[in-house]
Structure 1
């Protein structure tokens, strides 16, 4: 089964990704969780994609470090 496209992510999921990044989760783990390429997580992290979407207040199933 092919990976999901970054365009398949909802604004809520993008907010969760930003939350996880801000809380130190590793990009490759986030990519696996959302079944997308780690390079797309990097693009979200640097603001190249979805800069207009703010981080979520929390993430579903997020684990605290």
Structure 2
């Protein structure tokens, strides 16, 4: 049997800003992750500041 498993999408800084905007508007992390085709842990890393720590300020327009 052949596998169709592909690596997940790799998030960019611009994606991280969009993640913050969507999260601040009340969207669930798992739904945000699904729309980017990434593991929910990747979205959580953005929101915890482990990846793209400056994206929160950019999303808030600070």
SS at match of 1:55: helix
CA contact (8 A) 1:3 1:35 kept: no
CA-CA distance at 1:10 after TM superposition: 2.4
1:34 corresponds to? 36
Distance 1:10 1:22, change over 3 A: same
2:25 corresponds to? 23
Query: Larger C-alpha radius of gyration, 1 or 2?
Result: 2
Which is bigger in relative contact order (C-alpha 8 A, separation at least 6)?
A: 1
**Higher share of residues assigned helix:** 2
Structure 2 unaligned runs (5+)? none
Structure 1 unaligned runs (5+)? 58-65
